[in-house]
């Protein structure tokens, strides 16, 4: 699949999938061992000759939802769909209108828009609030460019963070095992809704491997999600008496649909669902055009707790614990969190923070980035 994802257009490329789902790290090793012969006839004077579009996968994906969920389950819900340049923009309209929602398309674009669901652009924050105020939407939804990462807003046009959306979706689906990267919001544990929680390295292959282990351990409703909102299932789930087959790859429709249905079931707007979650707030940012080797140097400078406290102690206090599952995740005695790591798919250095108020986490994010930019030099 040639893809336009969430990163700038000049860094997009190719994704590989198997019939059963995403490729895993083991598959990547085998792919690298392959010798591939390329038929020069696929190239033309104008460049690479794309094959004819095959819509079978699109048809199957739409049917996945229209067969499992009742055609009127979203009746009366006003849904805005921010289309931009997302490959799944028309699929979203087809699915959500097919389930009875009143759908309004928004923001169609003929040029690529790098919507990053972990670092939402200021203009997208503003657009959602404007659209919500003008149209009285119950929810606005969107995806990144290749439509495997969702964006979902509350009724006020405030975008939910992907890891918070994952908690609510897992609740609706009555998951008995949840796998998620170490960087995701700890409201997951604090909610006490799930009997089995597994923390992984960042990246869907690690989440999938963890879900497979949970299924082997006998769990019956195994799900996973990432901070970007992509939701995965490794169990066949029953919804409205129908089977929803496992889909162990990032999905942008299921978490959005689950949250809307949760709000209907509990007769509460999405903002009220959020208000009932444990008060843990996350924020993330990134230093762009930052080579991985430079990121590695920064992390190497923090091998000792004393070095971490020298750099961040004045702002955040004493270190309570560190976790090196993926990059460096520091929990301070205040229970506030700083997590630093190189991006896995772009020359960027990412920084995540967690605190018990939105104001504080945004302040932490600002301070963290200022310190990191000074270290960058």
Mark whether 177 is an active-site residue.
no
d(CA 331, CA 338): 7
DSSP for 272-285, written as a single string: HHHHTS-S-EEEEE
| C-alpha dihedral, 190 to 192 to 196 to 199, nearest 10° | -10
Tokens 């799930």 belong to 194
Helix axes 292-300, 358-376, angle to 10 degrees: 100
DSSP 5-32: -SS-GGG--B--EETTEE--HHHHHHHH
Give the rounded distance of the alpha carbon of 147 from its chain centre: 11
Residue with tokens 């959306």: 165
Longest dimension (CA), the chain: 63
Distances (CA, A) of 298 to 30, 313, 338, 371, 375: 32, 16, 14, 11, 7
3-state helix, strand, coil in the chain (%, to 5): 35, 25, 40
Q: Which residue of the set 5, 179, 204, 343 is catalytic?
A: 5
Question: Tokens at residue 85, please?
Answer: 């340049």
- Residue 330 in 3-state DSSP? strand
Cβ atoms of 223 and 232 within 8 Å: the answer is: yes
Cα–Cα distance between 339 and 277 in angstroms, integer? 22
Buried b / exposed e across 297-322, counting CB within 10 Å, b at 16+? ebeeebeeeeebbebbeeebeebeee
Q: What residues are labeled active site?
A: 5
């Amino acid at each position: 699949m040639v893809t336009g994802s969430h990163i700038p257009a000049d860094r997009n490329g190719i994704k590989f999938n198997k019939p059963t789902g995403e490729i895993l790290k083991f598959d990547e090793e085998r792919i690298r061992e392959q010798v591939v012969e390329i038929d020069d006839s696929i190239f033309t004077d104008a460049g690479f000759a794309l094959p004819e579009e095959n819509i079978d996968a699109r048809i199957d994906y739409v049917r996945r939802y229209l067969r499992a969920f009742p055609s009127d389950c979203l009746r009366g819900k006003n849904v805005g769909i921010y289309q931009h340049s997302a490959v799944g923009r028309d699929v979203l309209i087809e699915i959500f209108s097919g389930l009875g929602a009143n759908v309004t398309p928004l923001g169609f674009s003929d040029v690529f828009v790098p919507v990053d669901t972990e670092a939402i652009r200021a203009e997208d924050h503003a657009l959602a609030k404007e659209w919500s105020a003008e149209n009285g939407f119950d929810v606005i939804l969107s995806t990144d460019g290749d439509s495997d990462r969702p964006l979902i807003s509350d009724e006020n046009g405030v975008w939910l963070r992907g890891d918070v959306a994952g908690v609510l979706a897992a609740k609706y689906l009555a998951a008995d095992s949840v796998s998620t990267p170490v960087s995701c919001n700890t409201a997951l544990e604090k909610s006490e809704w799930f009997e089995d929680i597994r923390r992984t390295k960042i990246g869907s292959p690690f989440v999938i491997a963890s879900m497979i282990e949970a299924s082997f351990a006998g769990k019956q409703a195994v799900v996973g999600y990432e901070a970007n909102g992509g939701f995965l299932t490794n169990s066949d789930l029953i919804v409205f008496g129908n089977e929803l087959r496992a889909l162990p790859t990032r999905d942008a429709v299921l978490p959005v649909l689950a949250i809307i249905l949760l709000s209907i079931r509990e007769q509460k707007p999405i903002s009220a669902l959020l208000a009932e979650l444990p008060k843990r707030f996350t924020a993330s940012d990134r230093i762009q055009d930052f080579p991985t080797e430079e990121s590695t140097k920064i992390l190497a400078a923090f091998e000792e707790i004393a070095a971490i406290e020298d750099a961040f102690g004045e702002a955040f206090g004493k270190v309570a614990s560190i976790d090196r599952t993926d990059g460096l995740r520091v929990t301070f005695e205040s229970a506030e969190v700083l997590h630093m790591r190189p991006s896995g798919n772009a020359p960027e250095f990412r920084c995540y923070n967690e605190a018990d108020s939105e104001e504080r986490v945004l302040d932490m994010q600002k301070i963290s980035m200022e310190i990191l930019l000074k270290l960058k030099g």
